[in-house]
Structure 1
């Protein structure tokens, strides 16, 4: 199985500094094949915040796929917001807004959903959808295909948030024939794992939707800091939630959820064969 370390919503400028060293140590222990960071590296897209974020990324294992979030676009600096947008992100993090990595049967593509015209909402453009199709649809069925976005393609049940990433349904319909296996996202500071067939009727293929909480921000929105460890093969996927425990001062395993590949994509195992486990708080739906 391939192992992905999924971090999101670091928010340098509003981080809990006590979490940084334990997170680095845990990341090294996990030794992932790929580190994925699904946006909001900074709180207000300031230069010193990007410098701190860059130093933290450099302390984590490589290779990495990183995408920006809405907080990585300046908010109060109007000229920078509308004329330079992700300029600071490009300077300090990466100029590649569609990063791609492939290795040993897996392909991971980052998609930028941050937009200057909205404060917090995101969108996938038609040209980005075509770019995803061009990059991913031609890969063979034996390749595991993963997308990384900041804004979510699904919402936890009962969430008071109403907006998915713009064109979420249209993108999933357009990508139905590509066999996308998984979409990793963040933004809500809430952990959620499911698959598109549970609530989104968008075609014949079921894609895993995996959302991470905030790994290091003080803006927990009712959840402890957390991240995901994703292990995936052609026939099985496991999503492990690691949650910060103030008593042990470690990121402890809180829940594991398993999915199996069916003729129509990813589904939860039949009752009686589920390996879902929980320790303490739920990794399912909760409001921000």
Structure 2
């Protein structure tokens, strides 16, 4: 479903495992897009299921779009770090609103990433995989001039930085921007949110040549199309592998890329 600057993302528009996609071929590059694993409220069955699929299917890269923990506590980051150690392919991790200190305002303002431990090397890490560039975009903030700090926020400088990164990507690459918060509101989602400068950022990314924005936050998968500047940008959201499910079962997205084209599919536990 196509959207314009004033439209919400359609939560109901998403390919599932029952839909065939063999047309991309057996040699497609495979990316697993995961979000909102929430250590501290994790679903151990879902995490074990996902790790088993990674071990057996060996995707080319893993993209985690935020909310690695529940309350950004040290033991939650430590447990997450230990879980991440099993993956031997490229991994990038975005920061979610739950990954900033919740009960310690001083730590949130002074050293918000102090508890990241071994995960720090993966945070906002750009990836280059077989003609695909993964570009990080921070959508969290230590402070906002509104009461609900769980909502997304992109600074003016942040917009410029991500556009510069997209402009630096080779012309023949597919460009996937990875963020925690959707850049447009998600219709029908309990946590649809309102990302500050989200629409402007999406417009700038479309103009710069991005092909997709990968996000999480709403705990349900979606796949929509935004049209701007004569181009289409896919808006792709992953579900959750935590106990904090909403409308759908625990899930993640698989993205397959071949010949400059890509498809995404939600894969559900059970």
**TM-score past 0.5 threshold:** yes
Q: Quick check: 1:170 aligned with 2:203?
A: no
Q: How does 1:100-111 map to 2 (within 5 A)?
A: 100-111=126-137
CA contact (8 A) 1:5 1:229 kept: yes
Q: Quick check: 1:133 aligned with 2:160?
A: no
Q: How does 1:232-247 map to 2 (within 5 A)?
A: 232-245=257-270
Cα distance between partner residues in 1 of 2:29 and 2:98: 30
Q: Give the number of aligned pairs.
A: 239
Q: Deviation string for 1:32-84 (max 9, x for gaps)?
A: 11100000000010111001101111123421011110000111112112222
Match of 2:109 among 76, 82, 86: 82
Cα distance between partner residues in 2 of 1:110 and 1:220: 25
Structure 1 gaps, min length 5: 246-288
Match of 1:11 among 9, 21, 38: 38
CA contact (8 A) 2:211 2:234 kept: yes
Aligned position for 2:54 = 27
Q: How does 1:1-288 map to 2 (within 5 A)?
A: 1-89=28-116, 91-94=117-120, 97-118=123-144, 119-159=149-189, 161=191, 163-197=193-227, 202-215=228-241, 217-245=242-270
Structure 2 gaps, min length 5: 1-27
| TM-score between the two structures when normalised by the length of structure 1 | 0.77
Q: CA deviation at 1:17?
A: 1.7
| Other structure's SS at 2:39 match | coil
Cα distance between partner residues in 2 of 1:18 and 1:105: 34
With over 3 angstroms needed to count, the CA separation of the structure-2 counterparts of 1:3 and 1:124, relative to structure 1, is same
| Other structure's SS at 2:187 match | coil
| TM-score between the two structures when normalised by the length of structure 2 | 0.82
Q: CA deviation at 1:161?
A: 4.7
CA contact (8 A) 1:125 1:167 kept: yes
With over 3 angstroms needed to count, the CA separation of the structure-2 counterparts of 1:222 and 1:242, relative to structure 1, is same
Q: CA deviation at 1:182?
A: 1.1
Q: Deviation string for 1:7-54 (max 9, x for gaps)?
A: 100100011222222211111222111100000000010111001101
CA contact (8 A) 2:101 2:112 kept: yes
With over 3 angstroms needed to count, the CA separation of the structure-2 counterparts of 1:233 and 1:173, relative to structure 1, is same
